[in-house]
Amino acid sequence: MKQLCWFLLIVAAATTLLGQSDVRSAMPAKLTIPPEAQPSAQFNIEAATNAYLAQMPPAARARSDAYFEGGYWLLLWDFLYGVAIALLLLNLRWSAKMRDLAERITRFKPLQTAIYWAEYLILVTILGAPLGIYEGYFREHKYGLATQTFGPWTIDQLKGLAINLVLGAILTMALFGVVRRLPRTWWLWGALVTFLLLVVVVLIAPVYLVPMFNKVSPLNDPVLTQRILRLAHANGIPANDVYMMDASKQTTRMSANVSGLGNTMRITLNDNLLRRGSPEEIEAVMGHEMGHYVLNHVYKGMFFFLVLIVVWFAALFHSLQWALRRWGDRWQIRGIGDTAVLPLVMLLSSIFFFVLTPVLNTSVRVQEAEADMYGLNASRQADGFAQAAIHLGEYRKMSPGPIEEWIFFDHPSGRNRIHAAMQWKAENLALFH
């Protein structure tokens, strides 16, 4: 249940924000430029955009619209389901009982917190399993996006749970330590502690966490590697390696991303993109990823998260006091320093992040649009980029309304991406003689 583990969700967002361009396709790995998008004196941006959009069969579009719009409802169901679980744990006093159990096992406070965290995480995972399995397994298979059978999928989930168990225990031990020592200013110091752990996780993720799920290796195609490294060096990126990942183990989506921080920062493309993307398309996607790198989106994203975490903790500070005054006795929670408060923290946090959904999506989408522009300028592959946008359209709605895009899209829509590419082409027709 992702909304119940906000910290890890943020980590996941921070490590993937930086540029997923997932795509799935039945289209051949060859670029087909429609007649309307051919360079000519009559080149028309709207006509070229529409011609590319028309490459997508209506049935494929209906399917991706259904998948993506279903995701809007899942946002709501995830939120409500998480709220229901938290209220259950509080009102049935299961949370207080889990705390009592942890206190019976040990008298050492930090260890009590870690034990409570383990009890909490396992219980919430079990209660959340019906929706989690539908969402993560059956629904993905229904739309042809998943490649794993139930056994390997479950093993991946258990690995995620183990990571969550360890990182969550470290974070809760640190946070409750801060709360108990600094009852008036814990929100500020707690936010900084949370941010520091986030930095560490982003730093180690490509080296230690990603390899737990997938095999990451240097790209074994010398011609393509040359092409990508030339693009990198021309853009001032001192890279000597390009990485690839066997994402086809889990999914049919094409993707590439920038991950890590400082020395661990790297660009990785997945094997679906390698297999099904045309060379022009791969170059366009790589240009986009390099945009994230050159424009320092990782660092800007981290700064945004720092501000967000401080605001989140300040909101928690006030709302926790208010809620505990009203219902603390009934839930048998002794105060903010009592681990039994955790479901309440998760409940209030899920409200905070649910309300902020459009803000979070927009902050990522703005960077994605910047990386798109950078990628077009760097790679000069406007048609490859349009093809990538169509590939993406197999699971992301192509032509949403403007408000819909603002609320739900963490990348520009396919139509807007193709339009931007065709505008770029129209302004650079001289390059195509």
Residues numbered 295-334 forming contacts with Zn ion, rule: CB under 5 A? none
CB of 357 to Zn ion, least distance (A): 19
* Contact call for residues 174 and 195 (beta carbons, < 8 A): no
CB of 251 to Zn ion, least distance (A): 17
Token pair for 353: 């992040």
- Short-list 299, 208, 254, 264, CA closest to 392: 254
Please tell me the count of residues contacting Zn ion according to CB under 5 A: 3
Stretch that binds Zn ion, among 11-19, 32-40, 269-277, 381-389 (CB under 5 A): 11-19
CB of 44 to Zn ion, least distance (A): 28
Report if residue 287 touches Zn ion, rule: CB under 5 A: no
Q: Which residue lies nearer to Zn ion by CB, 148 or 235?
A: 235
In one-letter notation, the amino acid at residue 51 is A
Stretch that binds Zn ion, among 232-240, 320-328, 363-371, 398-406 (CB under 5 A): 363-371
Using CA atoms, how far residue 242 sits from 212, 228, 300, in Å, is 19, 8, 23
Task: Give me the residue label for tokens 């807007």.
Answer: 416
Element (H, E) at 257: strand 256-259
CB of 22 to Zn ion, least distance (A): 10
- Binding-site string for Zn ion from residue 17 to residue 56, where x marks contact by CB under 5 A and - marks none: --x-------------------------------------
Q: Which residue lies nearer to Zn ion by CB, 119 or 368?
A: 368
CB of 383 to Zn ion, least distance (A): 19
Q: Which of 102, 127, 274, 371 touches Zn ion (CB under 5 A)?
A: 371
d(CA 422, CA 48): 7
Q: Which residue lies nearer to Zn ion by CB, 103 or 370?
A: 370
Q: Which residue lies nearer to Zn ion by CB, 117 or 374?
A: 374
d(CA 295, CA 367): 9
- Collect contacts of 41-45 with beta carbons under 8 A, ≥24 apart: 43/425, 43/426, 43/429, 44/426, 45/419, 45/422, 45/423, 45/426
Q: Which residue lies nearer to Zn ion by CB, 18 or 33?
A: 18
Sequence-ordered list of residues with C-beta below 8 angstroms from that of 143, at least 6 positions apart, any chain: 63, 67, 395
Q: Which residue lies nearer to Zn ion by CB, 1 or 371?
A: 371
Q: How many Cβ atoms are within 10 Å of 230's Cβ, its own excluded?
A: 11
Secondary structure letter of residue 399 according to DSSP: S
Q: Which residue lies nearer to Zn ion by CB, 33 or 418?
A: 418
Stretch that binds Zn ion, among 188-196, 244-252, 368-376, 423-431 (CB under 5 A): 368-376
Q: Which residue lies nearer to Zn ion by CB, 18 or 96?
A: 18
d(CA 222, CA 232): 15
Binding residues for Zn ion (CB under 5 A): 19, 368, 371
